[in-house]
Amino acid sequence: MTTQDTLPAGKVWLVGAGPGDPELLTLKAARLIARADALVYDHLVGDGIMDLARPDARRIYAGKEASKHTMPQGDINQLLVDLAREGLSVVRLKGGDPFIFGRGGEELETLVGSGIPFEVVPGVTAAAGCGAYSGFPLTHRDHAQSVTFVTGHLKDGTVNLDWPALARPKHTVVFYMGIGAAEEICRQMINHGLPSMTPAAVVRNGTQKDQQTVLGTLGTLPHRIAESGIKPPALIVVGSVVGLHEKLSWFEGKA
Ligand code: SAH
């Protein structure tokens, strides 16, 4: 990005908007949002972020709530090409990081195919944001030497994951889009060898004012989810790091 005031025409920036708190935007993201001629944004772009856009900027909502895809992916890909061909500077704004369960790669492939120049700006992914704001370090020398980000939502509604690889000790697993499959996830993690007492949590609207964390274990989480009525967008964190919440939580209920 240059320091000049206007952005080059006919170009697309695929920008991560982070998990919600506008202060978690990168400086680069904030500057691009403030200068773009057109912004194409998703459902998960946090409140307050679109307010940074120019008053005269064109704003296009591309949707994407679970199972309520407002605009088909092919149309979004084509829209980016069309806006760039109109000679606009285009910010394609996605929640979290655009390359983590964001279909950012698919959008870029269309741009490449059409010869449209682009850049990618990473963002704070939901797992990092929820871990930080819920007090779960995703790795910790005493608890987890590795972390896996996985999607709990498959196109056909099944959850067909590599369970033996996920259900390992000293490991943290973050399930994006997993809340609807929580029961299956917890059952499989136990069936593949993790103790049912393994700490597990759901975090909804992480980093936002109304962030909600529901704590349990692999044995109790599905019941805790039903009891609390917690809804997407939320992710599930499994592993003993979740037990650190009690000591390290600093945000929820305190903001
Ligand atoms: N590209 C995004 C993920 C998109 S997939 C990223 O890097 O974060 C959408 C899923 O992300 C949601 O279903 C939910 O599981 C998770 N998610 C996104 N924002 C979240 C938030 N603020 N709190 C909790 N989960 C969130």
pLDDT in tens, 200-218: 999 999 999 999 999 999 9
Please tell me whether residues 34 and 131 are part of one structural domain.
Answer: no
CATH number where 18 lies: 3.40.1010.10
User: Who wins on pLDDT, 244 or 253?
Assistant: 244
Residue 1 lies in a domain: no
61 Cα: distance to centroid of ligand 1 (angstroms) = 17
Domain count, the chain: 2
71 Cα: distance to centroid of ligand 1 (angstroms) = 18
Return the best residue to mutate from 14, 24, 101 for the ligand 1 pocket (most ligand atoms within 8 A of CB): 101
DSSP assignment string, the chain? --SSSSPPTTEEEEEE-BSS-GGGS-HHHHHHHHH-SEEEEETTSPTTTGGGS-TTSEEEEEE-BTTB-SS-HHHHHHHHHHHHHTT-EEEEEESB-TTSSS-HHHHHHHHHHTT--EEEE----HHHHHHHHHT--S-BTTTBSEEEEEE---TTS-----HHHHS-TTEEEEEET-GGGHHHHHHHHHHTT--TTSEEEEEESTTSTT-EEEEEETTTHHHHHHHHT--SSEEEEESGGGGGHHHH--STTT-
Please tell me whether residues 108 and 132 are part of one structural domain.
Answer: no
Please tell me whether residues 35 and 78 are part of one structural domain.
Answer: yes
User: What is the pTM assigned to this prediction?
Assistant: 0.93
Given 77, 96, 121, the domain boundary residue is 121
pLDDT in tens, 27-74: 999 999 999 999 999 988 877 999 999 999 999 999 866 555 578 889
78 Cα: distance to centroid of ligand 1 (angstroms) = 24
Which residues have C-beta atoms less than 6 Å from ligand 1?
19-20, 44, 94-97, 100-102, 125-126, 130, 176-177, 203-207, 232-235
Please tell me whether residues 37 and 76 are part of one structural domain.
Answer: yes
Return the best residue to mutate from 14, 42, 44, 214 for the ligand 1 pocket (most ligand atoms within 8 A of CB): 44
3 Cα: distance to centroid of ligand 1 (angstroms) = 31
Nearest atom, ligand 1, residue 126 CA: 8
Given 121, 143, 170, the domain boundary residue is 121
Residue 4 lies in a domain: no
CATH number where 221 lies: 3.30.950.10
The reported pLDDT for the residue numbered 147 is 98
Given 121, 142, 161, the domain boundary residue is 121
Please tell me whether residues 114 and 134 are part of one structural domain.
Answer: no
The boundaries of the domain holding residue 163 are: 126-248
Please tell me whether residues 39 and 70 are part of one structural domain.
Answer: yes
